[in-house]
Amino acid sequence: MPEIVYGDDIIDEWPTVRKGLGHTVRITDTRGNIYKMYINTGCYKDGRLGEVFIRMGKEGSTVRGLLNTVGILMTTLLRNGVPVNQVCGLLREGGHSYPPSGSTDNDDLPTADSLIGYLADWLEENFG
């Protein structure tokens, strides 16, 4: 596991009104099943990523709870100064590929090896 390096100026003031990105992706597996994932982010005034929210379209409470936990852990790391690239590296640790995986409707990231893998790729592409 890579060593976590914390930033110098930890915990900047979190703005009450903030900008961010919202993203919806559809992942189609080999059987033709479509999975919708919603990613919403919040940024500091200088544009640094500070929070991540992840939701799924039709998934049950277990997947919803796990994705919520991933978002909380990512937000905690980001707000404590861990760089986006390092957080994404931690998500990719072990190179896991698991369903749902397949093609996406995002031309910039046409395949997803997993929900978490896609999340890491998208965040790194937009904030890394």
Predicted pLDDT of residue 63 = 85
Query: Domain for residue 63, yes or no?
Result: yes
User: If the chain, 128 residues long, is cut into consecutive pieces of 10 residues, what is the mean pLDDT of each piece?
Assistant: 49 81 96 94 92 88 89 93 92 80 96 94 95
Query: Domain for residue 12, yes or no?
Result: no
Grouping H, G, I as helix, E, B as strand and the rest as coil, residue 63 is: helix
Query: Domain for residue 57, yes or no?
Result: yes
Query: Domain for residue 16, yes or no?
Result: no
Half-sphere exposure of 39 (CA within 13 A, CB side): 21
Domain range for residue 122? 22-127
Predicted pLDDT of residue 15 = 82
Query: Domain for residue 46, yes or no?
Result: yes
Q: What is the number of domains present in the chain?
A: 1
Query: Domain for residue 93, yes or no?
Result: yes
